Amino acid sequence: MGYLFDPDNWEWLVTANNLEFLLEGFLVNIEIALIALVCSLIGGLALALARLSRNPALRLVAGAWVDVWRNLPVLFVILYLALAMPTSWREAYENAAPGFLPDVLQTGRVFAALLALVLYNSAVLAEIMRAGIQSLDRGQSEAAAALGLSYWQRMRIVILPQGLRRMLPATVSQLITLNKDTTLVYIIGIQEVARHGRILTGYNFFGGVQAPLLQVFIVIGLMFVVTNLALSRLSRHLEIRERERTGTEVEPVMGLEDQVATVER
């Protein structure tokens, strides 16, 4: 305890630009999470629609795909792709990566990490979306069909707006998991917050360190706790506002995100 709160061990926080260096790394994590989230939402919706399609072969393939990626550790997929991804894919990514991204995110290695996060999270989100769509009364889709709406019109106007509203809480808790999972790219050597923390606490030429490891990683942990708490607060706020706006109790989809924290009621 004495060690933990010793002011000498916290001096690094205000020394030079150490804190700025950590925050710079943390920004990379946030960016990775956001890019992966957007791609996973698109991929997840496609997979969910495939699982609900009328074509049994498509249903089967999509179901097997989702089950495999959902049940493998995401770190496993990251490490595999980092080792096994063809060089041509990396080069293609490096050439195609938009210039506004920071340099760290333009390397081919990041593509392996992003692809792994998207494969995993799109499978999880697909299950959440499927449940959200299926939780709607069948009559809604039938009524829309009876009114002459095509499949895509039914999805866009009737089914998705309601289904997606029900999956908001589960999606936010998956986003929190995704945010935490971005630290895993540390293991394949991407310059994000945990790597920056390791640099700060690495032994230098004289055998000394710039900053104590325990304290640095407690600060890194706090960055995630604060961000993720804010995310869950925001989600609860949106849920309540939505309830007030529509005047109806929306029954959210639960139990399909990666880490469940509530019981179905």
Q: Which residues bind other proteins (CB under 8 A)?
A: 3-4, 68, 71-76, 79-80, 83-84, 176, 180-184, 186-187, 194, 197, 201, 212-214, 217-218, 220-221, 224-225, 228-229, 255-256, 258-265
- Nearer to other proteins among residue 161 and residue 221 (C-beta): 221
> In whole angstroms, how close is the CB of 180 to other proteins at the nearest point?
4
Q: What is the spatial distance between Cα 111 and Cα 106, in angstroms, rounded to a whole number?
A: 8
> In whole angstroms, how close is the CB of 227 to other proteins at the nearest point?
8
> In whole angstroms, how close is the CB of 184 to other proteins at the nearest point?
6
Contact 35, 93 (CB under 8 A): no
> In whole angstroms, how close is the CB of 73 to other proteins at the nearest point?
4
- Nearer to other proteins among residue 153 and residue 201 (C-beta): 201
Contact 82, 113 (CB under 8 A): yes
- Nearer to other proteins among residue 104 and residue 160 (C-beta): 104
Q: How far is CA 115 from CA 35, 61, 90, 102, 206, in A?
A: 10, 20, 11, 18, 40
3-state secondary structure the chain: CHHHHCHHHHHHHHCCCHHHHHHHHHHHHHHHHHHHHHHHHHHHHHHHHHHCCCCHHHHHHHHHHHHHHHHCCHHHHHHHHHHHCCHHHHHHHHHHCCCCCCHHHHCHHHHHHHHHHHHHHHHHHHHHHHHHHHCCCHHHHHHHHHCCCCHHHHHHHHHHHHHHHHCHHHHHHHHHHHHHHHHHHHHHCCCCHHHHHHHHCCECCCCCECCCHHHHHHHHHHHHHHHHHHHHHHHHHHHHHHHHHHCCCCCCCCCCCCCCCCCCC
- Nearer to other proteins among residue 6 and residue 142 (C-beta): 6
> In whole angstroms, how close is the CB of 80 to other proteins at the nearest point?
5
- Nearer to other proteins among residue 156 and residue 237 (C-beta): 237
> In whole angstroms, how close is the CB of 148 to other proteins at the nearest point?
37
- Nearer to other proteins among residue 16 and residue 225 (C-beta): 225
- Nearer to other proteins among residue 17 and residue 71 (C-beta): 71
> In whole angstroms, how close is the CB of 49 to other proteins at the nearest point?
24
